[in-house]
Amino acid sequence: MRACRICRDHPLGARLPHEPRPVFQVSRTATICVAGQAPGTRVHASGRPFTDPSGDRLRAWMGVDSATFYDERRLAIVPMGFCFPGQDSRGADLPPRKECPPAWRARLIAELPAIRLVLAVGAYAQGWHLGPLAGRSLTETVGAWREIAEATDPVVVPLPHPSWRNNAWLRRNPWFEAELLP
């Protein structure tokens, strides 16, 4: 998977603005899967998932330290798009590349037999992992976390993306930190 170049060699839409650098963390023994969106600029540079403020916030939400988070024997990190997709004209990260999920997602998830909990981070991961259980909005989906957790196996818990761009959402939805986080 680290050699994947589908977004460069067979792009759907605009070409990737840089050389692909797939970033993920997997192990057949991992029991938790963080299903994210796509690497950002810092993660693209480091080659390690969530090495940015979003990762700091996500680890705080999970109540784990870096050593636990990066222990691939315990925790898989599988974004919807392996590579940093680039930025739009305003400097915001583009959505995950469309080539990635159909090419590898189901196959890769099937190689993680010990997963008991999926943290579906952001709307793209929620759409893929929840299908018809995903709501019409992030708020609707995350708000139904109890019902979703009870209806899924492995258990899926939807989370907003931990980016600073969601600070306003977090302020408008204080129930998220009060009820859902450990």
Output the domain CATH number for residue 50. 3.40.470.10
Note the pLDDT tens digit of each residue in 109-165.
Answer: 999 999 999 999 999 999 999 999 999 999 999 999 999 999 999 999 999 999 998
Task: Give domain status of residue 78, yes or no.
Answer: yes
**Residue type at 73?**
R
Question: Judging by beta carbons within 10 Å of its beta carbon (0-12, 13-18, 19+), is residue 156 exposed, middle or buried?
Answer: buried
| Sequence-ordered alpha helix ranges (H) in 63-166 | 66-69, 100, 106-110, 123-130, 138-143, 145-151
Task: Tell me which residue range forms the domain holding 158.
Answer: 6-180
Among 33-37, 53-57, 83-87, 144-148, the range scoring the smallest mean pLDDT is 83-87
Task: Calculate the CA 48 to chain-centre distance.
Answer: 13
Tell me, yes or no, whether 152 lies in a domain.
yes
What pTM did the predictor assign?
A: 0.94
- Tens-place pLDDT, residues 102-115: 999 999 999 999 99
Q: Would you say residue 8 has pLDDT above 90?
A: no
Domain annotation covers residue 1: no
Give the number of domains in the chain.
1
